[in-house]
Structures are given as C-alpha cells and as structure tokens.
C-alpha cells in the first residue's frame, strides 16, 4: 500500500537588511569634527553587531548645514538607495537628516517608494510605519522653525556686535581677532604691503596672484591666490586701521544667500579701531588706480550670464570653469570654457583643458536625451558638470543620477560655420580669377 507522509516546510529565513547610516555636523570646528568621528564609530558598531543587518556603509557630511542641498554624502546615499544597494537608513534625528521640511519629506517619501525604511533614533520613528509620515511632518516643521529661530538669534548677536563697533570676521590676512580687536601678524602684514605696492607699481591682480603662488606664500585661510583674492585685499579698507561693518547680510536661513547691503540695514563706520597696515594715502591711491584701469579697459557688464556659468567644476583643483573667447578677431574665433585656476595661474597650478562651448552644448543635450540643447530643461535637471579628466565630462543631475561621457575636438572643417565656408569659397573664386587673368596676359 502506498504511504504518503507530510513533510513540514523548512522555516523561511528572513533576508538580512542592508543597513546604512547618515551622520552630519554643521560646522568645521574641531569639536564638531570629533563629534562626526564619534558618530561614524557608533554606527559602525551599532550595525555591525546586529546579525539581521548587513553593514552598507556610513555616509557623513561636513561642515554644511542641513538647510542646504549641496551635501555630497547625502546625495550619494540617495543615489545608492535608488540603485538598490540599501534597505534601511539610520540617522540620529530629524534635525540631522535635514532642517528643511520640504527636503525631509521629499527624501523620505522617495525612499519609501523605493522600499527603503528611514529610522530616526531620537524620535524612534520608522518612515515605513503607518503614522511615520504624519509624525515626520510635525517634527520636520518643528526642526525648520528651530533652524529659523537659531538663525535669527545669530543674526541678532552679529548685528548687536556691529552696533557696538565690534567686528565679526575672525580671520583676515595680516590680522588676528582677539577680544573684538584686530592685532597685526607681522609676516602676513608684510605680504599685504607688498600686494598694495605691487599694484601701484603697475602689476595686475592676476600677476600678483601668480607671483605669490610661485613664491610659495600662504594664501588667506579658505582661499587660494587668484585674481579675486587680490581684488578683495586691495579693496578692504580695514587695512587702514578703520572698519566698515555690515557691508553684507544673509537674506534668509534656508538659502543662506549673502547679499550686498544697499541700504536694507544700517552700515557702521568705526575709525581708528585697530593698528593700520596700509597708510590711508596709499589705500586711496590704489582705489584711484583701480578706477583708472577700469575706465581704461571699459570691460563688458559683469551681469552677462550663460547657461553653464558657475556649474562646471574642475576635477583637478575644484575651481569653476569660466567662459572666454579664443582666437579673437580671426575666422577661428569661438567660445570656450576654461578652469579659472588654469586661466589665472597657468598649467603649473592646474593641468586642466579648455572645452569648446559647442561641444558642451552637444554633450549636454546628449546627456539630457535631447536632439538640441534646451536651457530651460538644463536648468531644471542638471545640478553640476564635473570635469574629472581630459576629454571627460560627468553630468550630475538634481535627482542624484550621474552620466559620464567622453568628447573629442572637432576637426577644423567640422568647426566651420556656413558663413566661414561661404567666405572661403568666395576667396578661392577670387584667387582663381586672378590666376586666369595672369595666364591670359601671358
């Protein structure tokens, strides 16, 4: 007789979740950097000791505030989630994730659609839970208001200092700030004096920057020797021993955009506030020279802008690319984009390569899936264009995607416009006619 036995099914082993963590600090101070290091160590241990989790990495940003969207590690985290590499994200709190309600909810909703759970430790909220989004909406709103309040408190403190004639900027080439007073740093002060005298001696800002770079002179903290670095120094009246306070202000706590104070807020002038490095007569002579050169060269308005302005980043020195005209007043004249460091300091400072604008337009259209370049679509979709190496472009989309592509120089024939071809034909016809006349005379 046939016998049938029922065999119990093997218990289903739950799949281990690939867990990642996101950490962030909002300033570059040593204490904050130590805090970030501690967070990374904590998450390494937390995820590593869970047998039901697989460590998928720690993504850590510094020192950018949560109200901004230029957090590279946060964007990399989102990109890896979209690529299916992560099942769960752990972060300390809503305020660490982002202080902008819209940014928080948009990111959490996108990750929820991708099946990625976000766990906020302090609030003990899982975004995949039923009431997760409601709680996040409330908490994110509180976080944004907290950010606004903190920003207003900082603004009040700074403006109060200005009213009392006290500076806020802590570091300036030639000085150190101690107890609201600037004290001269002798070595740096000598560099400042040389810059002013070189400019009065006929050197331009770019030439002075190259001279300092080649001599190995240390640049101001957070800067490099470039034309705009020199321009800021020779225009700074603080070197005369007096201060003009509140020349700029932050428009709002979300964008953090710095605006020139054109009367929106009081401007304070403090005379003889600290020891001078530059005599006032020398400073005034430099200002007059700046105006004289500006009038002589009569540059085009600086407001002229192009689609790629400020969006192309050099992979070798991190400077931005600027637009220039090459082969001016020749038939080969064309617009090119060139690294600002290479343009001002030369190949020794940056070995990047200039890129013809026609190629940028074509490659951008190709990355966007268009037949021809469309500026409106470009501005909506593209966050940045990186130049990692010669003949390579990397398009960074606002949704976190990246597309890398290669390019090559067009042959001279391909770069000719219809007008250039017509001019060449007419010139050749004239040459042929002149040769024919000479032959007839013979």
Q: What is the pLDDT of residue 234?
A: 93
Q: What is the pLDDT of residue 116?
A: 92
CA dihedral (266, 271, 273, 274) positive or negative: positive
In angstroms and rounded to an integer, the radius of gyration of the C-alpha atoms of the chain is: 30
Q: Which two tokens stand for residue 343?
A: 């343009």
- SS3 string of 367-381? HCCCCCCCHHHHHHH
Concatenated DSSP letters of 58-125: EEEE-S--TT-S--HHHHHHHHHHHTT--SEEEES-HHHH-S-HHHHHHHHHHHHHTT-EEEETTTTE
In eight-state DSSP terms, residue 321 is E
pTM of the model: 0.47
Q: What is the pLDDT of residue 219?
A: 86
Q: What is the pLDDT of residue 10?
A: 53
Domains of the chain: 17-150 (3.40.50.1390), 164-297 (3.90.1750.20), 312-415 (no CATH)
Contacts of 226 (CB under 8 A, 6+ apart): 206, 209, 319, 340, 341, 344, 345
Q: What is the pLDDT of residue 385?
A: 93
Closest by alpha carbon to 341, among 228, 173, 184, 198? 228
In eight-state DSSP terms, residue 220 is P
Torsion of Cα atoms, 332 then 337 then 341 then 347, to 10°: -40
Contacts of 116 (CB under 8 A, 6+ apart): 81, 86, 87, 88, 89
Q: What is the pLDDT of residue 346?
A: 77
Q: Where are the alpha helices (DSSP H) in 337-411?
A: 340-345, 357-367, 375-381
CA atoms within 13 A on the CB side of 372: 0
SS3 assignment, position 428: helix
Q: What is the pLDDT along the chain (442 residues), one digit of tens a residue?
A: 566 666 565 555 667 899 999 988 765 555 555 677 888 889 999 998 888 999 999 998 875 544 445 678 888 999 999 999 999 999 988 777 765 666 777 788 888 889 999 998 888 888 887 666 666 666 666 666 666 666 677 777 777 877 777 777 767 898 998 888 889 999 999 999 999 999 998 898 989 999 998 888 988 877 788 888 899 999 988 899 888 787 777 766 555 667 777 767 787 788 888 899 999 899 999 999 988 888 776 555 544 568 898 899 998 888 889 998 887 777 778 889 998 888 877 777 788 889 999 899 999 999 998 888 888 889 888 999 999 888 899 999 888 888 999 988 765 555 566 666 677 777 777 777 777 766 666 5
Inter-residue contact 225 to 217 (CB < 8 Å): yes
Distance set, CA 436 to CA 134, 194, 427, 440 (Å)? 88, 66, 14, 6
Q: What is the pLDDT of residue 302?
A: 47
């Amino acid at each position: 007789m046939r016998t049938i036995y029922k065999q119990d099914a093997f218990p289903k082993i739950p799949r281990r979740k690939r867990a990642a963590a996101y950490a962030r600090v909002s300033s570059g101070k040593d204490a904050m950097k130590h805090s970030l290091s501690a967070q990374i160590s904590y998450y390494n241990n937390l995820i590593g000791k869970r047998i039901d989790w697989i460590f998928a990495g720690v993504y850590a940003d510094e020192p950018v505030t949560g109200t901004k969207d230029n957090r590279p590690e946060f964007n990399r985290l989102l990109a890896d989630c979209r690529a299916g590499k992560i099942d769960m994200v752990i972060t300390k709190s809503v305020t660490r994730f982002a202080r902008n309600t819209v940014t928080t909810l948009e990111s959490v909703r996108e990750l929820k659609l991708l099946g990625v759970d976000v766990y906020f430790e302090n609030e003990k909220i899982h975004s995949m839970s039923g009431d997760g989004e409601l709680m996040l909406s409330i908490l994110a709103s509180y976080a944004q208001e907290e950010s606004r309040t903190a920003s207003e408190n900082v603004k009040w403190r700074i403006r109060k200092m200005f009213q009392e004639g006290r500076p806020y900027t802590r570091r300036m080439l030639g000085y150190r700030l101690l107890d609201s007073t600037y004290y001269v740093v002798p070595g740096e002060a000598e560099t400042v004096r040389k810059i002013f005298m070189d400019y009065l001696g006929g050197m331009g800002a770019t030439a002075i920057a190259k001279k300092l770079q080649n001599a190995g002179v240390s640049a101001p903290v957070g800067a490099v020797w470039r034309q705009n670095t020199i321009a800021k120094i020779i225009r700074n009246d603080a070197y005369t021993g007096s201060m003009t306070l509140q020349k700029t202000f932050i428009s709002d706590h979300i964008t953090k955009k710095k605006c020139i104070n054109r009367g929106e807020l009081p401007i304070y002038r403090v005379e003889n506030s600290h020891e001078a490095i530059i005599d006032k007569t020398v400073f005034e002579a430099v200002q007059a020279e700046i105006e004289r050169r500006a009038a002589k060269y009569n540059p085009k308005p600086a407001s002229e802008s192009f689609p790629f302005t400020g969006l192309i980043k050099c992979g070798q020195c991190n400077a931005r690319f600027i637009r220039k005209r090459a082969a001016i007043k020749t038939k080969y004249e064309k617009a090119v984009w060139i690294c600002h460091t290479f343009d001002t300091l030369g190949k020794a400072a940056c070995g990047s390569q200039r890129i013809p604008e026609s190629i940028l337009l074509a490659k951008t259209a190709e990355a966007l899936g268009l037949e021809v370049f469309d500026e409106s679509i470009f501005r909506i979709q593209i966050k940045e264009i990186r130049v990692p190496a010669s003949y390579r472009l990397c398009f960074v989309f606002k949704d976190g995607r990246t597309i890398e592509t290669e390019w090559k120089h067009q042959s001279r024939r391909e770069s000719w416009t219809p007008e250039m071809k017509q001019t060449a034909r007419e010139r050749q016809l004239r040459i042929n006619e002149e040769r024919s006349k000479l032959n007839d005379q013979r």
